[in-house]
Amino acid sequence: MDRSYLRRYHANAIFHRIRLIPLISQREIIEQTGFDKSVVSSIVSKFTEMGLIERQSKPDANRRGRPSEGLLISPASGLLVGVEIEADAVGFVVCSLDGSILTSKIEPFDGDLGGIPQFLKRGVAAVVEASGSSAPVLGLGVSLPGLVNSDGTLVHVPVLGWRDVDILSHLQSVTDAPVFVGNDGKAAAMAERMFGACTDIDDFIYLFSGSGVGGALFLDGKIYGGADGLAGELGHIKVVPQGRFCSCGASGCLSAYLSEPALLHEIERLGGKAPADFSCILEGAEGGDEIILNVLDHAGEVLGSAVSSLINVFNPPVVLLGGNLSRAKAYLGASMQRALIRLAHPAMYSRSTVQFSKISEGMPLLGGVAIALDGVTSLDGPHVFK
């Protein structure tokens, strides 16, 4: 924290106000942030000088006085590229700095770690090309389904079998722009913060289910990382003593009750006709399959128990459930709710809202973009703003 810290803090807050509320005026920024008018004025003019934002006269309501000028992120100011690596596919997205999507595509992936740099380099180049924009790429964000520590080392990716890879160095060759890597749960949480349900919420707990169960702790306006940046592994909260075995080697983890493989396995165990993936589970549920409905109902109960622990521990304004949890809302929401009422402390539960993510369904590829945007606008990173 040096003496320009406050300046960067101001610049940042102003940038994000403009990003979130296009055509906002300086006066409105002042109202919303409490910053001094001269601070806002000087930073806004700096931004316009840099070509980062544009002023646009807006047909104001017939009102006396000098009309306010609307501010917006210039579409030509720069691009962000997001990459989401999964077990069998890699998603690419190009956005402009305000987060509006220009292009996206999904490519099948064979899981070869060595080929990653080349694979991403081609993919990124292709999607940037396809975007038709000639703006410079300002940041690349890569989301990975595993443990990524704060040095950018990939500690473990269970579904791909990768361990202890200095992934950040690997990826430096992909682009000249700064590269940011992150865990998929944190990336998804960041997407909710940047573009989704929590744009104005400084504290929320994000929990999602997919091939595993993960999450993130968004506390005091940022993702909490702990000692090594690994915090937020909510899938490995213990929910049952001596419970089911988990891919992490322990037993009784939440992940062993809520992940896609765990649900598939449980349905099979109970004699249901084994679905191929989560979409099939949902189809079965829609069709009224009793076994599947029971499994999802029980999953909701386990989820409710875990969420009640999170509420009691964090007293969060919002708990946000994403991924498959969001898709299965109709089948596990009720039992979760019952568990919450029974188990969460009333003083805290009454002040929390547990909600399901919309981003998870609508545009699940924004995680990478979000960590790129966060990286590029972070207060101590290699950020692009004065």
Partner DNA sequence: TTAAATAATCTTCTTACAAGAAAAATACTG
Partner DNA sequence: CAGTATTTTTCTTGTAAGAAGATTATTTAA
Radius of gyration of the chain (CA): 22
Q: Which of residues 7 and 156 has its CB atom nearest to DNA in the complex?
A: 7
Q: Which stretch binds a copy of itself (CB under 8 A): 46-54, 259-267, 319-327, 348-356?
A: 348-356
| Residue 380 within binding range of DNA, rule CB under 7 A | no
Q: Which stretch binds a copy of itself (CB under 8 A): 94-102, 110-118, 213-221, 372-380?
A: 213-221
Q: Which stretch binds DNA (CB under 7 A): 61-69, 289-297, 345-353, 359-367?
A: 61-69
258's CB contacts (< 8 A; 6+ apart) are 209, 213, 235, 299, 302, 303, 325
Q: What is the size of the binding site for a copy of itself (CB under 8 A)?
A: 54
Return the one option of DNA, a copy of itself, none that residue 64 interacts with (CB less than 5 to 8 A, by type): DNA
Q: Which stretch binds a copy of itself (CB under 8 A): 69-77, 137-145, 176-184, 231-239?
A: 231-239
Residue 150 CB neighbour total at 10 angstroms: 13
In whole angstroms, what separates CA 252 from the centre of its chain?
26
Say if CB 327 and CB 292 are below 8 A apart: no
Q: Least Å distance between CB 109 and a copy of itself? A: 24
Q: Which of residues 175 and 251 has its CB atom nearest to a copy of itself in the complex?
A: 251
Q: Give CA–CA dist 191/185, Å, rounded.
A: 10
Looking at residues 259 to 278 of the shown chain, list those that interact with a copy of itself (rule: CB under 8 A). Answer: none
| Residue 44 within binding range of a copy of itself, rule CB under 8 A | no
Structure tokens that stand for 211 in this block: 């091939």
Residue from the set 12, 32, 33, 68 that interacts with DNA by CB under 7 A: 68
86's CB contacts (< 8 A; 6+ apart) are 109, 145, 159, 211
Say if CB 160 and CB 212 are below 8 A apart: no
Structure tokens that stand for 66 in this block: 């000098």
Q: Least Å distance between CB 1 and DNA? A: 8
Say if CB 247 and CB 158 are below 8 A apart: yes
Q: Least Å distance between CB 219 and DNA? A: 25
Q: Which of 349, 265, 344, 335 is nearest to 302 (CA)?
A: 335
Distances (CA, A) of 107 to 79, 85, 183: 20, 10, 20
Q: Give CA–CA dist 145/160, Å, rounded.
A: 9
Residue from the set 186, 236, 327, 383 that interacts with a copy of itself by CB under 8 A: 236
Q: Which of residues 61 and 347 has its CB atom nearest to a copy of itself in the complex?
A: 347
- Give Dmax over CA atoms of the chain in angstroms: 73
Return the one option of a copy of itself, DNA, none that residue 26 interacts with (CB less than 5 to 8 A, by type): DNA
Q: Which stretch binds a copy of itself (CB under 8 A): 57-65, 189-197, 232-240, 261-269?
A: 232-240
Q: What residues make contact with a copy of itself under the rule CB under 8 A?
A: 1, 3, 5-6, 9, 147, 155-156, 203, 217, 219-220, 224-234, 236-241, 248-252, 302, 305-306, 308-309, 312-317, 342-348, 351-352
